[in-house]
Amino acid sequence: MIVPEVLKEDNYERWVIFMQHYLVAQDLWDVVLSNEMLHGEDSREWIKRNALALHTIKISCGAKKFDAIKEMNSAKDAWNALADLHKQPNGEGNKDTGIKTDERKQACIFVQSNAGVAACMIVPEVLKEDNYEKWRIFMEHYLVAQDLWDVVLSSKMPNYGEDSGKWIKRNASALHAIKISCGTEQFDRIKKLNSAKDVWNALADLHKRPNDTVFAGIRTIERKQAVTLLKDIRKGNSAAVKELFETHSQYSPALIENGSTALHVAITAGQIELAKELISVMSEEQLETKDKSGKTALSLAACKGSTEIS
DSSP letters spanning 18-69: HHHHHHHHTT-HHHHH-SSPPTT--HHHHHHHHHHHHHHHHHTB-HHHHHHH
State the Cα–Cα distance between residues 5 and 118, nearest whole angstrom: 11
Q: Do 178 and 273 belong together in one domain?
A: no
The Cα 63–Cα 80 span in angstroms is 18
- 56 and 80 together in one domain: yes
Q: According to DSSP H, which parts of 154-192 are helical? A: 164-180, 184-190
Neighbouring-strand partners of residue 61: 7
Q: Is 43 exposed, middle or buried (0-12, 13-18, 19+ CB in 10 A)?
A: exposed
Q: Among 87, 104, 121, where does a domain finish?
A: 104
- Are residues 122 and 56 located together in one domain of the fold? no
Is residue 191 one of the residues assigned to a domain? Answer: yes
The pLDDT, as a whole number, for residue 181 is 92
- Three-class SS state of 7: strand
Rounded distance, CA 303 to CA 297, Å? 10
Q: How many domains does the chain have?
A: 3
Q: What is the pLDDT of residue 162?
A: 66
Within this chain, do residues 74 and 3 fall inside the same structural domain, yes or no? yes
Residue 308 maps to a domain: no
269 within some domain: yes
Give a yes or no: residue 50 inside a domain: yes
Contact call for residues 272 and 309 (beta carbons, < 8 A)? yes
Is 216 contained in some domain? Answer: no
Q: What is the CATH number of the domain that holds 243?
A: 1.25.40.20
> What is the CA 299 to chain-centroid distance, rounded?
35
Quick one: pLDDT at residue 205? 85
Tell me, yes or no, whether 218 lies in a domain. Answer: no
DSSP symbol at 290: B
Q: Rounded distance, CA 258 to CA 116, Å?
A: 31
CA distance 297 to 267: 7
CA atoms of 149 and 1, how far apart (whole Å): 21
Judge whether 74 and 54 are in contact, CB under 8 Å. Answer: yes
Q: Which of 147, 178, 207 is the last residue of a domain?
A: 207
Contact 126, 182 (CB under 8 A): yes
Q: Which of 75, 104, 133 is the last residue of a domain?
A: 104
Does 217 reside within a domain? no
**Residues 116 and 179 both lie in one domain:** yes
Work out the angle at residue 219's Cα, subtended by the Cα atoms of residues 217 and 159, and round it to the nearest 5 degrees: 130
Q: What pLDDT, on the 0 to 100 scale, is given for residue 159?
A: 59
Other CB atoms within 10 Å distance of the CB of residue 261: 27
- Asked if residue 212 is part of any domain, the answer here is no
In this structure, the chain runs to a length of 310
The whole domain housing 160 covers 109-207
State pTM to two decimals.
Answer: 0.52
Centroid of chain to Cα 162:
20
Cα dihedral 301, 305, 308, 310 sign: positive
Q: Please check whether residue 28 is in contact with residue 62, taking contact to mean a CB–CB distance below 8 angstroms.
A: no
pLDDT tens over the chain, length 310 residues:
788 889 999 999 989 988 988 888 788 888 999 888 777 778 888 999 999 999 999 999 999 999 999 999 999 999 999 999 998 554 344 444 333 334 333 333 333 333 233 455 788 889 998 889 889 988 988 888 888 888 888 777 765 566 777 888 888 889 989 999 999 889 999 998 989 999 999 998 888 754 443 333 334 555 566 677 778 888 888 888 877 776 665 555 556 656 677 888 888 888 888 888 888 877 777 788 887 778 888 888 888 777 677 5
Q: How far is CA 135 from the centre of its chain?
A: 12
221: left (phi over 0), alpha (psi -120 to 50) or beta: beta
Q: Are residues 95 and 121 in the same domain?
A: no
